[in-house]
Amino acid sequence: MPFLELTLHCTEATQPRYENALDDVGALAVTLLDADADTSNERAILEPGVGETPLWNDLVLTALFPGDTNALALLAALDAFDPGLDWANASFRAVADEDWERAWIDQFQPMAFGERTWIVPWNHELPEAAQAEDAAVVRLDPGLAFGSGTHPTTALCLRWLDGLAAEGALAGNTVLDFGCGSGILALAALKLGAARAVGVDNDPQAVLATGDNAERNGLQDRVQVYLPDDEPQATYPVVVANILASALDALADVLAARVAPGGRIALSGILHGQEDELLERYAPAFEQLAVAQDGDWMRITGVRRA
């Protein structure tokens, strides 16, 4: 079935009003994009911090309606719901029905990280190199949760885990994946030799996605996933946190308390220029702090002080 797509420009301040009106008149889906995405002013947004919903200052909002919706009648209903908004700037087009999520995953190709780690979409044949006896292969269906390995923040963490495995630092240990998203890091750690993994995420969709991906990889008995309020208060020899720098700053004490003395931590989701403040923030609890870079993104690693 085709759809009618409405597109308009709005600001961060007016976005909630526009979305409320669109929901009221029966929008099937609403999508937000950065209006300045093609300029140097783009502000990167990945996963929000706890209780945060960050947005760009200027947005392009799109909403889908059934294909037989009358555009003029729709505009009249929207204007009646909130006449203070500029509905005249809305444009319409017909779009074909398509499974957008599956279409994206069809373009997702196998990727290698470090010496042994492979991330392979569930519906893709294993590359020859990923069939090696010591290959650590994660079959992934990213679904709606963040984390497919394609972003440098995730890639930095996967390469770190691969390096830990080469040192023997994962074997038999439990790994905490804080901000687990799709579960990609927890599952990679298990494939690389960790005994168990614990995932924590503030998005219920991420909890479901991690559980689904664990089952797809036959690892469901070795993974536990929690929302933050349900997370057990434990310490771990290995902790990885791929979240925003602002959240890493706010949660520094929480994350430090999760790492056992002598344990290892990796912090990612950090834009170049944000690392110095975080290095200072984590220095009291961690030694051997080191920084790695992938494009505009940084990773900090360290060892928990005794």
Predicted confidence at residue 104, as pLDDT, reads: 53
pLDDT tens sequence across 206-264: 898 899 999 999 999 999 999 999 999 899 999 999 988 889 999 999 999 999 999 99
**Within 10 Å of residue 106's Cβ, how many Cβ atoms?**
12
Predicted confidence at residue 12, as pLDDT, reads: 85
pLDDT tens sequence across 154-180: 999 999 999 999 999 999 999 999 999
Put simply, whether the predicted model's pTM sits higher than 0.85 gets the answer: no
The residue-averaged pLDDT of 22-31 equals 89
Q: What is the CATH number of domain 3-97?
A: 3.30.70.120
pLDDT cut 90: percent of the chain above it: 59
Predicted confidence at residue 43, as pLDDT, reads: 41
Predicted confidence at residue 256, as pLDDT, reads: 98
**Within 10 Å of residue 72's Cβ, how many Cβ atoms?**
8
What lies within 8 Å, CB to CB, of 192 at 6+ separation is 116, 117, 136, 161, 162, 164, 165, 170
- What are the domain boundaries of the chain? 3-97, 104-304
What is the rounded average pLDDT for all residues in the chain?
A: 86
Predicted confidence at residue 206, as pLDDT, reads: 86
Q: Which two tokens stand for residue 118?
A: 């492979």
Query: Residues marked as binding?
Result: 154, 179, 201, 242
- Residue 107 banded pLDDT, cuts 50, 70, 90: low
Please give the Cα distance from 169 to 145 (Å, whole number). 28
Q: What is the CATH number of domain 104-304?
A: 3.40.50.150
Please give the Cα distance from 271 to 268 (Å, whole number). 9
pLDDT tens sequence across 48-67: 443 444 456 788 899 999 98
Residue 69 backbone phi and psi in degrees, to 5: -65, 135
Query: Residues marked as binding for S-adenosyl-L-methionine?
Result: 154, 179, 201, 242
CA distances, 136 to each of 132, 181, 217, 242 (Å): 9, 19, 11, 20
